[in-house]
Amino acid sequence: MQKPTSTRAAAARAVAAVLGGNSLDDALAKASAELPVSELPLLKAISYGVVREHALLSQLVVQMLEKPLRNEPELSALLACGLYQLRAMRVPPHAAVAETVAAVEILGKTWAKGLTNALLRRYQREREALDAALPPEPAIRLSYPDWLVATIKKDWPGGWRSTLAAGNEQAPLTLRVNRRRGTRNAYLEELAAAGIKATAVVEASDAVVLDEALPVEQIPGFEEGRVSVQDASAQLTADLLDAQPGMRVLDACAAPGGKTAHLLERDASLDVVAIDNQAVRVSRLRETMARLDLQALLLNADAAQPSTWWLGKPFDRILLDAPCSGTGVIRRHPDIKWLRRETDIPAMAGQQLRLLRALWPLLRPQGVLLYATCSILKAEGESIARAFIAENSDAKELVIEADWGEDCGLGRRIAPGGQFDGFYYARLIKIP
């Protein structure tokens, strides 16, 4: 009979899979299949933490090993899992060491049990000195790839360190209250009556942040469609698009459907077309619409090729929440740090510009296009908007005046941290 996999062994496999090129969501889904449901929170906590602090933890391992490990991705990941428990979790140290050593055998590395035990116990004894000996570079101390540190330093010269640090914070769980089903104030009162502490987000009129995250099935009103999970930065879309009753609206990269739904919760009279180029994502979009009992025309189509789906009727509003690096949501998806490559950014920026060029002819005169990315890189924000306006004489910035984020010359950007993910918005109006 096969010995059941321990949580630490499963976490090590998940971390190794991420560093091998898999997404953390996919790696955790595979690792979760080996564990009882009761162990999944611990699996997630260890895996997320180790991926978030990968560079720092790996450096600690290197400092303590006489010889570097060769071609041992799962063992290296397990050592990092052990160190993370000792550094950052409330797991009793003796349990962290014992369970991590036991996981060595499950991974088929029995020869490394003594090494693992010695390394973790040494860290317990010499933690202060070992931490102090870490190189001072932010790429190690804050655990980011060198290229991303350099890019954020250049793009955020006055706040690059806090921007990097914010990517290592635990992101809050933010809800969007469905206006068709009740008010935010009433929902806050309902949460308070249920003993759930929450705060309204001043800058986003439908947003509520929970003090402590809950599984969606435990969130009052979620199943009935009275609330949805959506970050405050993303909720700003509906205000910025400012769609008026009866307007024809295109959500060009719509899945999983949060922004489409928000628009229709605000005004069900909108004629909304929501498209995505992946069938599986359109299925998620359809599920979102069904849960919230909303109606829109949903298409599995490529926004960059309107000739294959557009019937010639112009739109009053277009939302382009463009595919990007996701560097503004690293605190939610720490694997982005290690899965993205510097060479990915020009390719993604080029795709964003192609989408803008393809969609602009679909906008009627005096119509508004809102360009958005969950990126904190200029190359996927201000630079794209500036290039597009330079080549289109009928495109003009409609300045965003707001209390959130900061003006960056063209459009507005939000640094990650607190109640907000990192985001960029530019509002363009088509002049006759």
**Fold for the domain defined by 232-430:** Rossmann fold (3.40.50)
- Whole-angstrom CA distances from 59 to 78, 130, 345 are 14, 10, 27
Cα–Cα distance between 168 and 170 in angstroms, integer? 7
pLDDT in tens, 84-129: 999 999 999 999 999 999 999 999 999 999 999 999 999 999 999 9
CA distances from 12 to 15, 34, 138, 180, 213 (A): 5, 13, 25, 45, 25
| pLDDT (mean) for 64-87 | 95
pLDDT for the residue numbered 4? 53
Catalytic residue among 81, 324, 374, 408: 374
Tell me the two tokens of residue 369.
């296009």
SS3 assignment, position 194 = coil
Q: Could you tell me what percent of the chain has a pLDDT over 70?
A: 99
CATH topology of domain 173-229: Alpha-Beta Plaits (3.30.70)
Do 156 and 376 form a contact (C-beta atoms < 8 A)? yes
Tens of pLDDT along 333-376? 999 999 999 999 999 999 999 999 999 999 999 999 999 999 99
Q: What share of the chain is helix, strand, coil (3-state, %, to 5)?
A: 50, 15, 35
pTM for this entry? 0.94
Superfamily (CATH) of domain 7-134: NusB-like (1.10.940.10)
Q: What is the mean pLDDT of residues 218-235?
A: 97
Residues in the chain: 432
Average pLDDT, stretch 55-75?
A: 95
Catalytic annotation present for 374? yes
Q: Is the pLDDT of residue 403 over 90?
A: yes
pLDDT at position 5: 74
**Alpha-carbon span 347 to 349, nearest angstrom:** 5
Taking residues 152-179, what's their average pLDDT?
97
Mean of pLDDT over the chain:
96
pLDDT score at 68: 87
pLDDT higher than 50, residue 2: no
How far is 243 from 395, CA to CA, in rounded Å?
Answer: 19
What is the arithmetic mean of pLDDT over 250-279? 97
Closest CA to 399 of 408, 251, 391, 247: 408
Q: Cα(328)–Cα(338) distance, rounded to whole angstroms?
A: 14
**Residue 248 pLDDT exceeds 90:** yes
pLDDT in tens, 180-217: 999 999 999 999 999 999 999 999 999 999 999 999 99
DSSP at 27 = H
The answer to whether the Cα torsion of 338, 343, 345, 350 is positive or negative is negative
For the chain, give every domain's residue range: 7-134, 173-229, 232-430
Residue 294 has pLDDT above 50, yes or no: yes
Distances (CA, A) of 270 to 149, 176, 247, 258, 327: 42, 19, 5, 15, 32
pLDDT at 3: 45
Q: How many CB atoms lie within 10 A of CB 199?
A: 15
Q: Which helix (H) or strand (E) holds 166?
A: helix 160-166
